[in-house]
Chains A and B, each alone.
Chain A
Amino acid sequence: MTMTVAPRTGHYLDRPSPSGLADVLDLILDKGLVIDVYVRVSLVGIELITIDARIVIASVDTYLRFAEAVNRLDLKQDRTEGLPELMDDMRQGGARRKTRGALEGVKETVGEVIDQVRGRGGEDEDEEEEPQERPRRRPRSSGERRERER
């Protein structure tokens, strides 16, 4: 951080530091410069074992998940009830994880892995999560990736 940045006094904005892995993933896998778009360069086809952040959970699953969530709602509950608790969670950056948890019901394994990664927020839990991620990884050479992008 530099001196130009104001002290982080905010309580409503979640500012994960370091960034959550899911946030890092799509910034550095989907964005930024593709090295050989501009020049012919001797690339080394290194094996990449990253989780494919572009896996999209099939919309059918998404729809069923929302249907289940909306059916579970208890409409008799007073609307304002529970709100202070939610806001407390949010100040601690917990609301998102809570949301994720509630949505997880019908999801497939792929979705679960993405959720684990996404739900991780700012915490650094590599050691304990790595074994769970491993089976989901797909070997993919940078050569294959370039082909797909053309």
Chain B
Amino acid sequence: MNRDTPAAGDTGAACYVYGIVPADAAAPTGVRGVGTPPAAVDLLPGGRVAALVSEVDPTKPLGTPDDLRAHARVLDSVVSALVPVLPFRFGSVVDGRRAVADELLGPSEEGFATALASLRGLAQYTLRGSYVEVRVLRDVLAARPDIAALRERTASLPEDTGHYDRLRLGELVAREIGDRGEADVRHLVDTLGPLAVAVARGPDPDPDQPIDVSFLVHHTRWARFEAEAEDLARGWSGRVGIRLLGPLAPYDFAPTAVDGASEGVPGPWV
């Protein structure tokens, strides 16, 4: 708490931190931040880097859908303008502008600057897909006679006696869908991976969303990446519903970039 000697422009208010950008980045215009009403977003420089911040009232809870979208919108708009950014997780609030400059930027300036340099010109694209249910279930039954047979059996069983068979049926179906997801993800990575400098798989296999892969792509390849993703979606139409998010801030890749910078590696993908 340094409120008795506030930094220039320090109003004593808590600072919501969206992320870190190079010091020469232009302040974002026309993008509102988190809070009700939405706060103005500005840059707080510290050496070669700057924090994207807005004032926030720490006594009011954060997390409305508007807050969540605002956090993402601020970061994604920076990347769309070809400015590299290290996104922070939602809800990072620091005790005033002075603390941001002295405690956050000061000690990590070199590491942040190196990580930002490794992300210059790059943005994240995330592809997520789920199967068209009727289609995938038909495909599963056609390919797996054992599952089809179990289905026949459970269909004729009364509700109370067939519980474990039904559970087993659902488990087999979910696993088969998971295996199909694996194969489709491999195809996706083989197809689009060569256009990216790095690829990150989604967290856990989820039969409701078997496809979740992120790509770090240089802006000179954005158009081609989008066109090839569209081709892939056309090839899968009727079977897989697929959505493309991006260009996004490098949510999946920033931690690797910063870890690499702290170990003197200028970004694992350089």
Interface residues of A (CB under 8 A from B): 1-2, 4-6, 8, 10, 12-16, 18-19, 21, 23-35, 38-44, 46-51, 56, 59-60, 62-71, 73, 75, 79, 82-83, 86-87, 90-91, 93, 95-96, 98-99, 102-103, 126, 129-130, 133, 137, 139, 142, 145
Nearest CB on A from B262, distance (A): 8
- B130-145 vs A, CB cutoff 8 Å, 1 = contact: the mask equals 1111110110110000
Closest CB-CB distance, A112 to chain B, in whole Å? 13
Docked complex Cα distance between A66 and B169 (Å):
8
With A6-B227, A21-B68, A102-B134 as known contacts, state yes or no: A142 contacts B154, CB within 8 Å: no
* B49 interface residue (CB < 8 Å to A): no
Determine which residue in A56, A59, A75, A96 has the highest number of CB atoms from chain B within 10 A of its CB, and name it. Answer: A96
Given contacts A44-B94, A49-B64, contact A12 B233 (CB under 8 A): yes
**Can you identify 20 A-B contacts, CB atoms within 8 angstroms?**
A12-B234, A12-B237, A21-B68, A32-B19, A32-B87, A32-B254, A33-B258, A43-B95, A48-B61, A48-B62, A50-B68, A66-B177, A71-B151, A73-B134, A75-B138, A95-B132, A99-B132, A129-B65, A130-B64, A130-B65
A126 CA / B36 CA spacing, docked (Å): 14
Residues of B within 8 A of A75 (CB): 138, 141
CB <8 Å contact, A47 and B133: no
Query: A71 contacts which chain B residues (CB < 8 A)?
Result: 151, 154-155, 166, 169
Give the docked Cα–Cα distance between A83 and B80 (Å): 37
Q: Given the known A-B contacts A2-B81, A63-B174, A66-B207, are A27 and B126 also in contact in the complex, defined by CB atoms under 8 Å?
A: yes
- In the assembled complex, B92 has its CB within 8 A of some CB on chain A: yes
Stretch from B21-29, B37-45, B102-110, B181-189 at the A interface: B102-110
Query: A32–B72 Cα gap in the complex (Å)?
Result: 11
Is B243 in contact with chain A by the CB < 8 A criterion? yes
Report B61-73 CB contacts with A as 1/0, cut-off 8 Å: 1111110110111
In contact, B62 and A62 (Cβ under 8 angstroms): no
- Knowing A32-B89, A40-B103, A43-B95 are in contact, say whether A19-B245 is a contact too (CB < 8 A): yes
Q: What is the distance, in angstroms, from A20's C-beta to the closest C-beta of chain B?
A: 8
Please name the 4 residue pairs, one residue from A and one from B, whose CB atoms are nearest each other, closest first: A63-B170, A67-B170, A50-B63, A42-B95
* B146 at interface, CB cutoff 8 A: no
Contact A64 B93 (CB under 8 A): no
Known contacts A1-B80, A18-B69, A86-B135; A28/B245 CB under 8 A: no
Partner of A48, one of B63, B66, B134, B251: B63
Would you call A31 and B89 a contact (CB within 8 A)? yes
* Bound-state Cα–Cα, A47 to B61, Å: 5
Q: A13-B233, A41-B103, A90-B241 are in contact. Are A5 and B223 (CB under 8 A)?
A: yes
Which B residues are CB-close (under 8 A) to A14? 233, 241-244
Which residues from B are CB-within-8-Å of A10? Answer: 226, 230, 233
Contact A33:B222 (CB < 8 A) given known A41-B104, A48-B61: no
Q: Are B94 and A41 in contact (CB under 8 A)?
A: yes
- Does B179 have its Cβ within 8 Å of any Cβ on chain A? no
Q: Is the CB of A142 within 8 A of B241?
A: no
Task: Give Cα A19–Cα B258 distance, bound, in whole angstroms.
Answer: 26
* Cα–Cα distance between A128 and B153 once the two chains are bound (Å): 44
